[in-house]
Amino acid sequence: MTIRSMLSLALAALLAGMPSALFAQNEDLGAAPPVGGEVETVEMPDSAADDEGGLTGSVSFEGSLDNLAMAIPAFAAERDVATAANARGTAALGAELARVVTADLQNNGLFDPTGPDALPRPTYPQITDPVWGMWSMRGAEMLVQGYVRPRADGKLVVGCYLYDVALQDELVRSGWVVPPSDWRRAAHKCADLIYSRLTGESPFFDSRIAYIAETGPKDNRTKRLAIMDSDGANHRFITTGRATALTPRYSPDYRKLMYLSYVDGNPRIYIYDIGTGRQTLVTESANPTFAPRWSPDGRWVLYSMAVNGNTDIYRVSASGGASERLTTAPGIDVGGSYSPDGSRIVFESDRSGEQQIYMMNADGSNQRRITFFGGRAATPEWSPRGDQIAFTYIPGDFNIATMSPEGRNFRKLTDGWQDEAPTWAPNGRVLQFFRTERNTGRTAIYQVDLTGENLRRLPTPVDASDPAWGPILP
Amino acid sequence: MTSRIKFAIILAGSVSLAACQSGAPDQLPPEPGVSQPDTGGDYTSGPREGTQEHFVDAVNGQNVIYFDTDRYNIDTADAAALQTQAQYMARYPNVTVTIEGHADERGTREYNLALGERRANSAKNYLVSLGVAANRIRTVSYGEERPVATASTPSAWAQNRRAVTVVID
């Protein structure tokens, strides 16, 4: 018996005389995931003050990024020593780091890098002094090198360098200190550094995704809350599957998960505190609550609540207190997504007779419809950059589309039979959504960039739906 | 009249009623009252009063009503079914029920939760209008999460757009 279940039993005995609701609402929770620490960025020695912000005249290649010959050899280890991050020591960890960087850049679709398994391994001194002739002979235009070195306190220092081989020049460098358990984050930071330097976009690899893991036949589906890194690694189930869980959302600081659960027999939103393992209702009400959303600063929660069959959107402080009703129209007002500055909310309503997308101020004032594309429009999500809104466009089949916050510049990005519920990457350049397969009901998370190209399925251990992409990790 | 004859009459009644339900889907899901396995062949007692089995038998399988796409109105067939349910609840005043609202898969997940809630409340409000006390009826929406028909066809979707009345045992 685990300590947790012993505690649960003790708690159960303690609560035997009390209403069962408090205990029942925790019944579906599995073991709590570890709370990650912050990654410290370190000043790298000899750091030339490099201009960041995308391709500039200092880069030698022209043309599209996926034609760019990029080599990512194994990161060098100063000495091959034991580390908690890899059973075979820091040298093996160095190769793993380069593999993760390669996979990040590869899977993004913009780059076609060559990873460490097909490349010679630089020595530790060569990391800051590349063997230019050898890399240029191999046809590499861009070279990513790095190193890993354990610190006395057991933490790892990981350095990452991007070189332009033709110019024989360093484009950018950075380094991070991570606990051994967070070694992958250093690789994601490195991939983010390179992605940002070469595209001019903000980073997004070092982030996590909450989603719903699905198993079982279509008419008896088990739906569990699960989390993973943006590349699918560090996968964990949060709930056991005894109760249906839906529509998770990470808090902006990653400390809490908000989601819908049927754990007490009714659909209700719970806020799960990852650090304490405690779970609370978003609001004390006998009415069903669903469609939870955080404000960008994490101070507010939007939720939808049905009262006598009529669904409206409410706002409540994340620390509790009285709820404020934001919509009053008869019909279904549901969901909601804040503008990055928190001043406006885009939401879905069928007040016109069918699902369409509306805009309002954060206090509920000035509600107006913004979608007039023919067909239904649902599940709006405001880009973290503020410039676009992604949504489910339903001319018949279900597709992912984007538009401006004024309801213009409509772009359809996918062509599935049922693609729904887009979620933005932290940099607002990539979207994930879930695709349901006709007849079988099988679900999977897909990723697509804003060009509508580079569509790919995310690897998950079981079927997957309702992805919710968190911000860049703190 | 023996129980076996009574069972046969209930069965015939449910078939003829199903045939004239205008709003019902082409293929009805199997009705629990009809497909109930014969537990040892002993029908002398029948299902216990106030159980789901007894209720479904008594309302001729009309414990489920169906809706058009995106709709939640009570049509003529629904009204007839709900009247039968109300009569049962009048006869058994201790019975309380849950009305489960459901949607088909061709909607977005959160909207379907709201739609299922709206359908369950339509059925509830109609029962209340027929004199059933509101506190005897609980509602719950399952959205699109619990389909009875698993194909992705218009007839399967029609079977899934439903409100199911379930006796709370």
Round to whole Å and give the CA distance between A325 and A313: 6
Nearest CA in chain A to B142: A267
pLDDT of A7 strictly over 90: no
Evaluate whether residue B27 is within a structural domain. no
A355 closest CB neighbour out of B111, B139, B143: B111
Tell me the pLDDT tens digit for each residue of A298-316. Answer: 999 999 999 999 999 999 9
Which of B110, B121, B152 would best serve as a mutation to test chain A binding (most A beta carbons within 10 A)? B110
For residue B111, give the CATH number of its domain. 3.30.1330.60
Average pLDDT rounded to a whole number, residues A277-290? 94
Residue from A323, A322, A317, A281 nearest A298 by CA: A317
Evaluate whether residue B12 is within a structural domain. no
Which of A212, A214, A215, A219 would best serve as a mutation to test chain B binding (most B beta carbons within 10 A)? A219
Evaluate whether residue B102 is within a structural domain. yes
By DSSP bridging, strand A142-150 and strand A70-71 are parallel
Q: What is the ipTM of this complex?
A: 0.89
Structure tokens at B5: 């004859």
- With contact defined as beta carbons under 8 Å apart, do B165 and B85 qualify? yes
Evaluate whether residue B151 is within a structural domain. no
B110 closest CB neighbour out of A265, A291, A310: A291
By percentage, how much of chain A surpasses pLDDT 90? 81
Evaluate whether residue B119 is within a structural domain. yes
B148 closest CB neighbour out of A219, A398, A418: A219
Tell me the pLDDT tens digit for each residue of A366-421. Answer: 999 999 999 999 999 999 999 999 999 999 999 999 999 999 999 999 999 999 99
Give every CB contact of residue A107 below 8 A, 6+ residues apart in sequence: A231, A456
Window 301-320 of A: residues touching B by CB (8 A cutoff) are 304, 306, 308-311
**Which amino acid does the sequence have at B2?**
T
Round to whole Å and give the CA distance between A278 and A282: 13
- With contact defined as beta carbons under 8 Å apart, do A272 and A226 qualify? no
Which of B71, B98, B100, B108 would best serve as a mutation to test chain A binding (most A beta carbons within 10 A)? B108
Evaluate whether residue B19 is within a structural domain. no
Tell me the pLDDT tens digit for each residue of A125-159. Answer: 999 999 999 999 999 999 999 999 999 999 999 99
pLDDT band, residue A64 (cuts 50/70/90): low
**Which amino acid does the sequence have at A221?**
R
By DSSP bridging, strand A376-382 and strand A389-394 are antiparallel
Average pLDDT rounded to a whole number, residues B106-120? 98
Residue B63 belongs to what domain range? 52-144+159-168
Distances (CA, A) of A279 to A5, A8, A36, A264, B150: 16, 13, 19, 13, 34
pLDDT of B15 strictly over 80: no
Nearest CA in chain B to A218: B150
Average pLDDT rounded to a whole number, residues A353-357? 97
pLDDT value, residue A32: 73
Q: Which residues of B touch A218 (CB under 8 A)?
A: 147, 150
Question: In this complex, do A288 and B121 lie within 8 Å of one another by their Cβ atoms?
Answer: no
Average pLDDT rounded to a whole number, residues A344-366? 98
Tell me the pLDDT tens digit for each residue of A196-228. Answer: 999 999 999 999 999 999 999 999 999 999 999
pLDDT band, residue B33 (cuts 50/70/90): very low
Number of domains in chain B: 1
pLDDT value, residue A41: 85
Evaluate whether residue B150 is within a structural domain. no
> Which has the minimum average pLDDT: A25-39, A413-427, B43-57?
A25-39
Evaluate whether residue B89 is within a structural domain. yes
